[in-house]
Amino acid sequence: MPSFVGRSALPRSYGTWRGWVQTFALVAMMLGLAVAMRVSVAAANDRPVRIVVLGDSLTAGLGLRADETFSVKLERALRAKGLAVEVANAGVSGDTASNGLARLDWSVPEGTDAVIVELGANDMLRGINPKVTRQALAEIVRRLAVRHMAVLLAGMRAAPNLGSDYGRDFEAIYAELAARYGLLLYPFFLDGVAGEAGLNQRDGLHPTAAGIDAIVARILPKVEELVGRARDKRVM
């Protein structure tokens, strides 16, 4: 009687065949994951880049019609460049940097890809200690970094009547934070508009619709960079 002790009831080629099956299954699974990732990335890239403008009256549009505000005109300019974007206006007139920090979580909802931070003008006008402004802005950009959002920090200049020491300390905030957190920086939000009578309302502080056009034209290249960074973060 033949003995089967120590023998396999399957042909010797079975072990090799089973190995090939397992290898094929593993390769198929990896290919499936790769396809799923590509589909996910493609879907993310197809979705418009969502930008929130976190600011004060300069971006809220004080004295302007709704269709003349910074966010509306910026979105229009970006779309004219062929960029799929949605720009939300989260500007609140009178807000300081600390006010912006207090409302950050609900002003910048989930699903936001990038944020333009335009705060500090009211801090300067009220003579708030630059250390307080710096601390609030630093916490804003830190929280946005934790949420993996691309950030463009828009700077502000101090009025000469506040003195050279105040002006130096205040204006240094923006470059320092941009360098520390690796942010995009637009040094002066009102560049080319401040002091130009034809581009400001009667108060001499808030841009007219033409003033907003000038701001958008000047800041647009930086915002295009911001959109690029936001897209890069989607696939990381």
Residue-level pLDDT at 46: 77
Told to judge if 203 belongs to the known catalytic residues of this protein, a careful annotator would answer yes
Question: Of 71, 98, 123, 206, which is the active-site residue?
Answer: 206
- Catalytic-residue membership of 57: yes
What pLDDT sits at residue 40? 46
Instruction: Check if CATH label 3.90.228.20 holds for domain 48-234.
Output: no
According to the model, what pLDDT value does residue 165 have? 98
Q: What local confidence, expressed as pLDDT, does residue 234 receive?
A: 86
Domain ranges of the chain: 10-46, 48-234
Q: Residue 39: its pLDDT value, please?
A: 41
- pLDDT in the model for residue 230: 98
Which residues, 6 or more positions from 216, have their beta carbon under 8 angstroms from its beta carbon?
Answer: 70, 73, 74, 77
Residue 59: both structure tokens together: 């971006």
Q: Please count the other Cβ atoms lying within 10 Å of the Cβ belonging to residue 130.
A: 21
Quick one: pLDDT at residue 5?
A: 44
Q: What is the pLDDT of residue 3?
A: 42
**Model pLDDT, residue 25:** 62
Q: In DSSP terms, which residues pair with 23 in a beta bridge?
A: none
The catalytic position among 13, 46, 164, 203 is 203
Mark whether 206 is an active-site residue: yes
Low-confidence stretches of the chain (pLDDT beneath 50): 1-10, 35-37, 39-43
Strand, coil or helix: 53:
strand
Which of 57, 71, 98, 107 is an active site residue?
A: 57
